[in-house]
Amino acid sequence: MTGEVIRSADIDPSRLEVELTKSPKTIPPTNQLVFGRTFTDHMLTIPWNSQTGWGTPKIQPYAPLQLDPSSTVLHYAPTLFEGLKAYKGKDGVLRLFRPDKNMERMNRSAARLAFPTFTGENVTQLIKKLVEVDSKWVPSDPGTSLYIRPTMIGTQAGLGVGASTDVLLFVIASPVGPYYSTGFKPVKLYATTKDVRAWPGGTGGFKLGSNYAAGVVPQQQAAALGYQQILWLFGPEHRLTEVGTMNLWVALRKDDGGLELITPPLEDMILPGVTRDSVLALARDHASGKRKLAGLPDKFTVSERNLTMPELVEASRNGSLSEVFGSGTAAIVSCVDGIGYEGELVKVPCGEDGLGDVARVMLREIVGRQTGDIPSEWSFPVDA
Ligand SMILES: *Cc1c(COP(=O)(O)O)cnc(C)c1O
């Protein structure tokens, strides 16, 4: 024993062992699914130890984990997660949407927690295997998908605070019904001037479990006031940052009749959403003329810049505010029709179908690429 960390032992998909369940569960009809409550028959686990590196990947029956009560994850929250989806196209093909981006972000989160990193493609390959094994769980009705939750936790026994010597990477999957079963419903946001989600030098830009538990009380307080989501602000000038656990977008009408689509810059306070990156890429290609999108005005600019609540209030008053929406894997887009701020309700326009013009186009373009209707390098077929 040299005590040396074996950093070269990468995750090896060729070592995968598969143990199939002997008691498959009944798959509920999609209209009875509650988000994140039903899980497929199997899960993927890959252990890591500082002496031996990454161990054998296993697909095994979905079951509770066994953890020592002193495991670091239960005390100091060394835990991170990802969220991506598998979609069944009209052609029957199962596809992942941009899993390379999730793996890149997962490795960034892992490095932030002093966890081991890995070759993203190897885990994508194993996730494809899991989806294949549980393929009958992927629903096919429009708007449905299989939500995939990769997670890493520090499992070593012992109360010392330090780098984890044992880590478990596991992946579970949950079928989801159409996110909005009764059409798109706009949401009202409560812009909190008290609680702060993320700050410069903090961890808000990483998908760490520890970022989320503290957001529940503010969320409850917003709900008690009749708002569906929190609008997280930052700084004395009340900069807009994120909506609940979604990235934020604001569209402003310009004097020349065009639109400016704005999202705050990442810095280290904004979670780098895969949906955010996709909306930015589509919007920039439209703006540059590389790939025009029907439904968006010709005069269109895209800005990663900060916007403050006083600026938004003024835009709402003078009629230049066109729409506000959130973006994320769960709902793709979610439109906002009002923001509670300093005792007033700031009105935000929203189309009759519950979508603004930009959100409607982005939804169409992203769903098209998720289901394979629009051919795209963002689609990763599962059997390929
Ligand atoms: C996960 C998440 C998002 C959205 O990221 P996607 O990759 O688009 O799903 C946005 N904000 C926060 C705080 C998140 O945790």
Q: For 7-25, what is each residue's pLDDT tens digit? A: 558 999 999 999 999 999 9
Q: What is the pLDDT of residues 287-327, one digit of tens each?
A: 999 999 999 999 999 999 999 999 999 999 999 999 999 99
CA dihedral over 26, 30, 33, 35, signed as positive or negative: positive
Q: Which two tokens stand for residue 87?
A: 């979609």
Q: Which atom of ligand 1 is nearest to the CA of 276?
A: 8
Amino acid letter, 303: S
Predicted pLDDT of residue 33? 87
The answer to whether the CB of 101 is under 6 A from ligand 1 is no
Going from the Cα of 333 to the center of ligand 1, the distance in angstroms, rounded, reads 11
Residue ranges of the chain that CATH labels 3.30.470.10: 13-176
Tokens (6 digits) for 324? 């506000």
Mean pLDDT of all residues in 186-190: 96
Q: Measure 371 CA to ligand 1 centroid, in angstroms.
A: 20
Q: Ligand 1: which residue has its CA nearest to atom 13?
A: 245
What local confidence, expressed as pLDDT, does residue 41 receive? 98
What is the distance in A from the centroid of ligand 1 to the CA of 82?
Answer: 9
Check pocket membership of 122 for ligand 1, CB cut-off 6 A.
no
Tell me the average pLDDT of the chain: 95
Residue 233 has pLDDT above 60, yes or no: yes
Count of other CB atoms within 10 angstroms of residue 29: 9
Gap between the Cα atoms of 151 and 94, Å rounded: 22
d(CA 371, CA 197): 33
Residue type at position 272:
P
Q: What mean pLDDT comes out for the span 220-249?
A: 97
Beta bridge pairs of residue 208: 80
Q: What is the pLDDT of residues 351-384, one digit of tens each?
A: 999 999 999 999 999 999 999 999 999 999 998 5
For the chain, give the percent of residues with pLDDT over 70: 96
**126 in Cβ contact with 57 (< 8 Å):** yes
Mutational pocket test of ligand 1: of 85, 98, 212, 271, the residue with most ligand atoms within 8 Å of the beta carbon: 271
Q: Is 262 in the pocket of ligand 1 (CB under 6 A)?
A: no
pLDDT band of residue 1 (cuts 50, 70, 90) is very low
Q: How far is the CA of 247 from the centre of ligand 1 (A)?
A: 6
Q: Which is the CATH superfamily of the domain at 187-371? A: D-amino Acid Aminotransferase, subunit A, domain 2 (3.20.10.10)
> Is the C-beta atom of 276 inside 6 A of ligand 1?
yes
Q: How do residues 251-277 score in pLDDT, each as one tens digit?
A: 999 999 999 999 999 999 999 999 999
Is the beta carbon of 246 within 6 A of some atom in ligand 1? yes
CB 146 within 8 A of CB 86: yes
Kindly report, residue by residue over 124-143, the tens digit of the pLDDT: 999 999 999 999 999 998 88
Please state, in angstroms and rounded to a whole number, the distance separating the CA atoms of residues 324 and 6: 48
Cβ–ligand 1 contact at 47 (below 6 Å): no
pLDDT, tens digit (0-9, with 9 covering 90-100), for 316-355: 999 999 999 999 999 999 999 999 999 999 999 999 999 9
DSSP 159-200: ---S--SEEEEEEEEEEE--S-TTS---EEEEEESS--S--T
Express each pLDDT in 31-84 by its tens digit. Answer: 888 889 999 999 999 999 999 999 999 999 999 999 999 999 999 999 999 999
pTM for this predicted structure: 0.96
Q: Is 275 in the pocket of ligand 1 (CB under 6 A)?
A: yes
What is the CATH T-level fold of the domain 13-176, as seen in this structure?
A: D-amino Acid Aminotransferase; Chain A, domain 1 (3.30.470)
Q: Which atom of ligand 1 approaches the CA of 204 most closely? A: 13
Short-list 323, 81, 41, 13, CA closest to 186: 323
Tell me where in the chain the CATH 3.20.10.10 domain(s) lie: 187-371
